[in-house]
Chain A
Amino acid sequence: MVRQYAFFFDAAACSGCKACQVACKDRNDLGPGVLWRRVYEVAGGGWEKKGQVWVPTVVAYNVSMACNHCENPVCGASCPVKAIWKRGDGIILVDTDLCIGCRYCEWACPYSALRFNAAANTVSKCDFCCDAVDAGEPPACVAACPQRALDFGDLDDLRKKYGDLRRIHPLPDPAQTDPALIIRAHRDAAQAVERGAEVANWEEV
């Protein structure tokens, strides 16, 4: 039995094609601007003079991010009407019949997972494709990834399979929310902070 569903993301394998993003929008019929899964392009660095030679110090990689169905969901804790709740298998859902649309959870979530859906006038977020998962199928984003950069499963199983890294720049300290997320880092990520890398495609995400 699944204790806590989780995503795995392989930053080293992600090419930034955004197939996951599009598959999510397609499956959930999301309108313009509503992205339950986003692909952030993280970029930094430039050129550095070493002796008489200019060498590139560019760091660039992609981070595909949806709701991480955190074990300590600050979105749910912040909601004044208890519209955000957690299923027994760890999937976090928004009750759109209760949501008052104050959008406080948007600020509280350090992963920007909560998205305002103008069509329903409530916040919305990744539901882990719970209908598909309940039927034994993978979430749409996982199924769509041509690079197999995404995986899903029980958090404990994913830890055994991929390790326990839960942070890559510029993700927040996992101690904030205990995200159900396992990451394989891109090789550039080790220098990302010192080279001032940040999200480079805000218009898209």
Chain B
Amino acid sequence: MLKEWPLVAFTIAGQTAVGFLLAAGLPLFFLRGGAAGAPARGPRLAVVVAALGLMAAAAFVSFFHLQHPFRAVRALANLRTSRLSREILFELGLMALLAGLAFLLWARTGEEGLLRALFAAAGVSGVLFVWSMSNVYMLRSVPAWDHGHTPVSFFLTAALLGSLTAAVFSGFRSGGGPPSKAFLAAVLVLVAAAFLWALLTAPAHGTFGARPPASLVPPGGASSALHAARLIMLVLGSLALAAALWREGPAPALGAKAGLAAPVGLAWVLVLVGEVLGRFHFYGQVGRPGP
């Protein structure tokens, strides 16, 4: 199970990048008035570069699960039938769109319409990337994964970690204010949804989760303790978010004074740890035969 760490890191970072791009970028590209009222390019560039950085980190770490990474140049050779090829296609597409958008923003060129179109295309590509990522694991040979739990939990991770990262990021960014309380309340709802979804549908240990039938596929090492630890982390993360919401005045962010930074930053760390544990639990449903 621990051997799957590159896949854990790749899926978590990739999903976080997509969620972050949408949570932090949508307001900057679409929700703040028309072209005349569009925000300065700096904040947009910061969001796009951060999402691209996360995607690049995800792509880099994914090479650690390949035994012959230099042969991966052929990874798009089987788009017709291989879900893995399709996942890589959308991953590369998203990175190319983000790189193009970052270049236009950096060079201070491109019409507002073009920038918005590129952002929209990147957002759609990101959603398709997360969808194709979940499809990779929807295998009939692995009943524990071939279940609605897989795509829903992948999208929940994207929404949850993406929006939390956006909340933390808004405090770090120069000129960025702390996240609104409405935003933090929405994140709290997402944490609660992720907790409930895991509690009810996590394979093997969720209340209604798929129990693998007898088969020739070797069992993995996922334990109920791992599942419980994930749930505890999500509860603690939601408590930290609730603490941030309870405070008087604007919600604290990491860029603010240390005392105010703690709750949101702590929530981000706790939820991230919870999602990482949950992903190890996911991969631990299936063992690798042999060495």
Measuring CB to CB, which residues of chain A are less than 8 angstroms from any residue of chain B?
Answer: 32-35, 40, 63, 65, 74, 76-82, 98-104, 106-112, 114-116, 118, 121-122, 169-172, 176, 193, 196-199, 202, 205
Enumerate 22 A-B pairs (CB-CB under 8 Å) in ascending A order.
A33-B290, A77-B78, A78-B81, A79-B78, A81-B75, A81-B78, A100-B72, A101-B66, A101-B68, A102-B65, A102-B67, A107-B139, A107-B142, A111-B216, A114-B289, A116-B290, A116-B291, A121-B67, A170-B214, A172-B215, A172-B216, A193-B214
Query: Contacts A77-B82, A78-B82, A82-B77 hold; do A199 and B216 have CB atoms under 8 A apart?
Result: yes
Determine the chain B residues whose CB is within 8 A of the CB of A65 once the complex forms. Answer: 216
Residue of A nearest to B288 (CB): A106
Q: Which of B84, B286, B290, B291 contacts A102 (CB 8 A)?
A: B84
Q: How far is the CA of A118 from the CA of B3 in the complex (A)?
A: 14
Bound together, the chains give a CA A171 to CA B88 distance in angstroms of: 32
Please give, as numbers and ranges, the residues of chain A lying within 8 Å of B213 by CB-CB distance. Answer: 170
Least CB distance, A38 to chain B, in whole angstroms: 8
Please tell me if B218 contacts chain A, counting CB pairs below 8 Å: yes
Q: What residues of chain A lie closer than 8 Å to B137, measured between beta carbons?
A: 107
**Bound Cα distance from A76 to B77, whole angstroms:** 12
Residue on B with the closest CB to A44? B214
Chain A: minimal CB distance from B75 (Å): 5
10 cross-chain pairs, A with B, having the tightest CB-CB distances, nearest first: A101-B67, A110-B141, A198-B214, A170-B214, A33-B291, A121-B67, A77-B81, A80-B85, A80-B84, A81-B74
Distance (whole angstroms) from the CB of A39 to the closest CB of chain B: 12
Q: Which of B76, B216, B218 contacts A80 (CB 8 A)?
A: B76
